[in-house]
Amino acid sequence: MRIPEADPAALSNFTRRGLLGACFALGIGAVALGVMRTGRREAIRVGILHSLTGTMAISEQPVVDATLLAIEEINAAGGILGALIEPIVRDGRSSPTEFALAAEHLISNEHVATVFGCWTSASRKTVKPVLERHNHLLFYPVQYEGLEQSPNIIYTGAAPNQQLNPAVTWALENLGKRIFLVGSDYVYPRIANRLMAMQITALGGEIVGEHYLRLGSREVAPMVEAIRAAKPDVILNTINGDTNLAFFQALRAAGIESKSTPTISFSMSEPELAHFDPWIMEGDYAAWTYFQSLDNAENRAFVERFHKRYGAKRTTSEPLEAAYVGVKLWARAVERAGSTEPRAIRDALRGLSEAAPSGPVYLDPESQHLWRTPRIGQIDANGQFNIVWSAERPRRPIPFPAWRSRDQWENQLDEMNRGWNGQWTAP
């Protein structure tokens, strides 16, 4: 069951009532969303922090559903440490500032044991100081640009060497050498494109153009005209949120088709594709470590449970799977530690592995990222991905590429942050 449409202010005002009170206010039964208190002991509160409104809601609302599904399944099996889990949902409103305020509220006022959430790196980077100040814990479920490693964050999405680097190599070998880079104008696309440009040049490719749009912008015409003029072999796309709708519609209107100029996207997955007419996206590609079309027993069961809970027309994706797996790993760590204290959970996570829907994953104890299996999928007429390439086994996460030192990478990030007046998005 999806959270129904409601006034954005009501959705974002999950204060002390948490999701339980909001459900009653919206007329939804508490048990239906797996939010309740237990007579055995007080429920364990966890925060879910994602954008329910704004440009990123198209991507983040489904991740909330997957997080709630994992919590419901744990509660149905008896909970953890003799208690059920009570999720407290907050709306980040697609605003890094709002994410930081909401994280502070969840930790200081709601006293949650752990936070599950964030999508954009700008939101994660504003939440990170809050976590570190309180020595708290975030499970972050989205692929990202790397160049970060915090003891207070568990990274369950792909690191650059598990998504960006394999996609560049595959594109140069299979689609062509002339590359056009597009992205939203904040830290993830800027750094991701810089990493890919270095790799493209080293492998003998050519960057024929690079263009950015404000996050949430629909002013895509100059970007599309630049692509039309450059005539690249392939477009590498790090645009996030609903700007992708305007971008791909404008590409097709300009006569730029997937057959002649394919796009590989890094933040476009099955739930986003559901918002397109199938012909618009058919033939393009995406790089992830999970696709709904993966044919293994764990994934078939996961998709079946997700469809049973939310309807057969709903789709899964890597961020959904990574969020779901993160909750399951967290619950196992809590049982292992016998505690919900963040430091104890972090220690208990070391060495945990999971037979996940994406295949076997393992939490790297050094980086707190997951070992994951890179894959490339091509979009079909049904809005699903035919997997055209897959690594043979999970790859160790490398958040800091080896050709520079960690200090050098962090200095580059600091320079970008200062240039943006202390923000993680372009002013």
H helices of 311-405, in order, are 318-337, 342-349
Q: If you search the block for the tokens 């430091």, which residue do you land on?
A: 343
Lookup result for tokens 């790397």: 146
Q: Is the pLDDT of residue 2 over 80?
A: no
pLDDT per residue over 342-358, tens digit each? 999 999 999 899 999 99
- Judged against a pLDDT cut of 50, whether residue 34 lies above it is answered with no
User: What is the rounded average pLDDT for all residues in the chain?
Assistant: 91
Examine the pLDDT at 367 and tell me if it is beyond 70: yes
Tokens coding 424 = 């993680």
* Cross-sheet strand order for the sheet of 85-91: 85-91, 44-50, 115-117, 138-140, 153-155
Rounded Cα distance between 61 and 379, Å, is 22
Residue 389: exposed, middle, or buried by beta-carbon count in 10 A (0-12, 13-18, 19+)?
middle
The token duo for 119 is 């999508």
- Residue 1: the pLDDT is 32
Domains, in order of start, for the chain? 8-159+297-371 (3.40.50.2300), 161-290+375-419 (3.40.50.2300)
pLDDT confidence band for 37 (50 / 70 / 90): very low
Q: Helices 57-76 & 318-337, crossing angle to 10 degrees?
A: 40
User: What tokens appear for 25 in the block?
Assistant: 């206010």
Count of Cβ atoms closer than 10 Å to residue 81 Cβ: 14
Q: What is the pLDDT of residues 228-286, one digit of tens each?
A: 999 999 999 999 999 999 999 999 999 999 999 999 999 999 999 999 998 999 999 99
The confidence band for 42, taking pLDDT boundaries of 50, 70 and 90, is confident
* Per-residue model confidence (pLDDT) at position 278: 85
C-alpha radius of gyration, the chain, whole number: 21
Average pLDDT over residues 195-207: 97
Give CA–CA dist 349/356, Å, rounded: 16
Per the CB < 8 A criterion, the answer to whether 186 and 425 are in contact is yes
pLDDT, average across residues 61-65: 98
Cα 315 from Cα 89, distance rounded (Å) = 21
Q: How confident is the model at residue 82 (pLDDT cuts 50, 70, 90)?
A: very high
Whole-number pLDDT of residue 242: 93
Residues 197 and 376: their CA atoms lie apart, in Å, by: 19
pLDDT digits (tens, 9 = 90+) for 87-114: 999 999 999 999 999 999 999 999 999 9
Tell me the mean pLDDT in the region 395-406: 95
Q: Could you tell me the pTM of the whole model?
A: 0.90
Q: What is the DSSP letter of 175?
A: T
Across 317-339, average pLDDT: 98
Q: Is the pLDDT of residue 19 over 50?
A: no
Q: Which residues contact 311 (CB under 8 A, 6 or more apart)?
A: none
